[in-house]
Structure formats: C-alpha cells, structure tokens
C-alpha cells in the first residue's frame, strides 16, 4: 500500500498519459485511490479475490534493490548462524553487493540449526554484515546441517507473515503447527519446510495458480502491489515503492495468498466469494492511513515502522530519503 493511500475512492478511468504505457492499447478501467495510486478490476477464484494496485505517479523511484533470492543465487548474499552457538531469533547476513538489499518478513530460509523466516521488513546496506531478526519455523531441531542457509524461494502464507511482524516466537510455532496439520505435512521437527516445498502443497494450490495466471494476465507495467480478500473480506494490502521491486516479489506474494486461501473461509453454497466493495477497501485503507506509527528499526540504510488501528496491523519500510519502499497492512 502506497504511503499516502487515500481514504476515499472515486471510480474513474485513468488517461493514457497517466498510465505511461508503451503500448497503444487503452488503459484498463481503474478505481482511483489517491493522486498516485489506483486499483484495477478485481479477479476472483473460489474464495480468493485479488485487486492489482498500480501507481499513477509521474516519477517512479529508480533505486535497484537486490532481493534475497537473486542475491543468494549470485553468491552476493550469505546468511549464517550467529557465532558458534547460534541464536534462535537472530542470524548474521552479509550483503557483498554494491546494492541495498531489501528483505521481506516471512521469506523462508532453510538450513543452519533450524529453519527460519525473516522477522522484519528491512534494508541491508551495500557491503555490510549485520544481524537480522528471524523466527524459528522448525520447533523440534537445534542441531546438525551446515551453519549456512539457503533461500526456500517462497514467502510464508499471509497469517504467518503477520505473526512474524507482530507476534512472539510461541505464536509463530503455533501457526506453523496449525498450517502443517491443515496441509497434512506434519513431520518430526514440525518444520514449515513441508508447506514451503512439498509436492502436496503445490498440488493443493494448483487451481488458484492456473485460474489467476489466466485471469490476471500480463502484469501492468505500473503495478506495485495487491489488495487481497479471502471469503469476501479484505485481509491484506501490500505495495512496493516501484514496479521493478514489486515484480521481484510478485510470484512469491501470489503463492503466499494461495496457501493462505486454501484453508480460508468459503461460502456455504460453494459459490465463488463476492469481491469486496470499493467501500470495504476504502475503510481498510483509511484505518491504515490513520494508524499511529512507531519505529521498530532505524538504520542508515532505511527505517522500518509498524502501525495498528482496531483489528488492522501494518508495517512499512522507508529509504534513507524517506521514500516508500514497501508497505503492508493486514487484517
């Protein structure tokens, strides 16, 4: 969600100049959120509805952030246990590149003394080694395997990512156990690895993947995020500071929504859920906009804040200049 996401909505079709589309096709109908953000038409399959969010700003930040998967593949990023003994809720990360590294809460890393998820959205400066907050997602192991980690190349489902941002270790373990049981991937160490990588889960979300790949179509070149609803209720709004950064997380985000929705609320008659009304999205956005914010990480590489309003919780990352990098609000 853009930092200045508006409180009111007005149905409109954006002019072609605002879309800055290189093609000559007419812009898709959209719902204006504010002077820099708009929703495209929602897409629904079963109990899951997704609204693409686009930016209408004339100037788009150009910072080229490195992300975890590309950094690890290129051997530019390394994650290891802290010291000889390790620490459940801390890992050491090395960003060897000349680019800032954006880490997203809920990214799954496997190995070390136990599998973990990133615990806070944050930026790691170029050529920097520092500790990062994490949560254990493997309750029954604290030994073996190499001290170094690799990316599982997935984001945890939405509820677990919310726990990573706002809850304690015990609640994270409970959510992992609950999801493992629902997906029938229980294992000796109660690791989230099964949900992240098993063929059973891949098969279970296949219907969502196929439907949304067809219905969402090609990503709009100005897209920066999604509004997500399960069972007709808005559960999350997530946006990035630029289409380029969003594109790096698009597939991981969609998978996290599918894994969330597969066990989510459904209509009693089995029909697809009705898409939320724009007023519902407006109310959700309004709460996030008005919520009081507090800083949880303040580094030279960027600031991470959290906010809460009624039953909504959110988190945002700003660059050193104050520009929005990422924002997520969750029900």
SS3 273: coil
Same domain, 56 and 72: no
> Nearest CA to 133 among 171, 105, 172?
105
Same domain, 258 and 183: no
Could you give the CA distance from residue 269 to residue 212 in angstroms, rounded to a whole number? 22
Q: What is the predicted pLDDT for the residue at 63?
A: 87
Domain assignment of residue 210, yes or no: no
Q: What is the predicted pLDDT for the residue at 299?
A: 97
SS3 146: coil
Same domain, 51 and 73: no
Q: What is the predicted pLDDT for the residue at 8?
A: 35
Same domain, 123 and 142: yes
Domain assignment of residue 2, yes or no: no
- CA angle, 318 as apex, 314 and 323 as ends, to 5°? 125
Pull the structure tokens for residue 239. 């946006």
Same domain, 49 and 35: yes
Q: What is the predicted pLDDT for the residue at 13?
A: 36
Same domain, 198 and 229: no
Same domain, 132 and 34: no
Question: Which among 203, 233, 268 is the end of a domain?
Answer: 203
Could you give the CA distance from residue 225 to residue 222 in angstroms, rounded to a whole number? 10
Using a 10 angstrom Cβ sphere, with 0-12 exposed, 13-18 middle and 19 or more buried, the burial of residue 156 is buried
What's the total number of domains in the chain? 2
Same domain, 141 and 40: no
Q: What is the predicted pLDDT for the residue at 23?
A: 35
* Parent domain of 131: 66-203
Same domain, 26 and 97: no
Cβ neighbours, 10 Å, residue 310: 9
- Report the Cα 63 to chain-centroid distance in Å: 19
**pLDDT < 50 positions in the chain:** 1-27
Question: Which among 174, 203, 232 is the end of a domain?
Answer: 203
Could you give the CA distance from residue 149 to residue 130 in angstroms, rounded to a whole number? 15
Query: For the segment 95-120, what is each residue's pLDDT rounded down to a tens digit?
Result: 999 999 999 999 999 999 999 999 99
Q: Torsion angle of alpha carbons 152, 127, 249, 242, nearest 10°?
A: 180
Q: What are phi and psi of 202, to 5 degrees?
A: -55, -45
Q: What is the predicted pLDDT for the residue at 329?
A: 96
Same domain, 94 and 44: no
Using a 10 angstrom Cβ sphere, with 0-12 exposed, 13-18 middle and 19 or more buried, the burial of residue 110 is buried
Q: What is the predicted pLDDT for the residue at 12?
A: 36
Could you give the CA distance from residue 237 to residue 294 in angstroms, rounded to a whole number? 19
Same domain, 103 and 153: yes
Domain assignment of residue 158, yes or no: yes
Domain assignment of residue 95, yes or no: yes
DSSP 8-state secondary structure symbol assigned to residue 7: S
Could you give the CA distance from residue 202 to residue 179 in angstroms, rounded to a whole number? 14
């Amino acid at each position: 969600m853009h930092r200045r996401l508006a409180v009111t909505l007005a149905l409109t079709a954006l002019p072609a100049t605002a879309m800055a589309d290189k093609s000559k096709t007419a812009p898709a109908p959209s719902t204006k959120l504010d002077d820099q953000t708009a929703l495209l038409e929602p897409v629904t399959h079963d109990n899951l509805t997704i609204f693409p969010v686009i930016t209408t700003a004339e100037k788009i930040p150009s910072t080229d952030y490195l992300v975890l998967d590309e950094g690890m593949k290129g051997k530019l990023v390394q994650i290891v246990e802290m010291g000889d003994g390790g620490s459940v809720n801390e890992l050491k990360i090395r960003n060897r590149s000349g680019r800032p590294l954006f880490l997203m809460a809920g990214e799954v890393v496997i190995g070390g003394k136990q599998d973990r998820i990133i615990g806070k959205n944050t930026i790691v400066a170029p050529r920097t080694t520092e500790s990062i907050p994490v949560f254990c997602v493997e309750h029954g192991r604290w030994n073996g395997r190499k001290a170094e980690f690799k990316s599982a190349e997935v984001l945890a489902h939405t509820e677990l990512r919310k726990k990573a941002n706002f809850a304690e270790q015990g609640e994270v373990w409970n959510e992992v156990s609950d999801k493992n049981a629902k997906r029938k991937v229980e294992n000796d160490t109660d690791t989230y690895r099964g949900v992240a990588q098993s063929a059973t889960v891949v098969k279970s979300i296949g219907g969502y993947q196929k439907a949304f790949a067809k219905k969402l179509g090609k990503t709009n070149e100005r897209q920066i995020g999604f509004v997500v609803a399960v069972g007709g209720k808005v559960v999350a709004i997530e946006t990035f500071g630029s289409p380029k950064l969003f594109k790096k997380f698009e597939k991981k985000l969609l998978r996290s929504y599918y894994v969330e929705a597969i066990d989510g609320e459904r209509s009693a008659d089995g029909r697809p859920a009705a898409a939320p009304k724009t007023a519902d999205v407006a109310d959700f956005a309004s709460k996030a906009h008005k919520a009081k914010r507090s800083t949880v990480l303040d580094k030279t590489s960027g600031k991470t804040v959290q906010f809460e309003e009624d039953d909504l919780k959110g988190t945002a990352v700003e660059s050193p200049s104050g520009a929005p990098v990422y924002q997520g609000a969750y029900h």
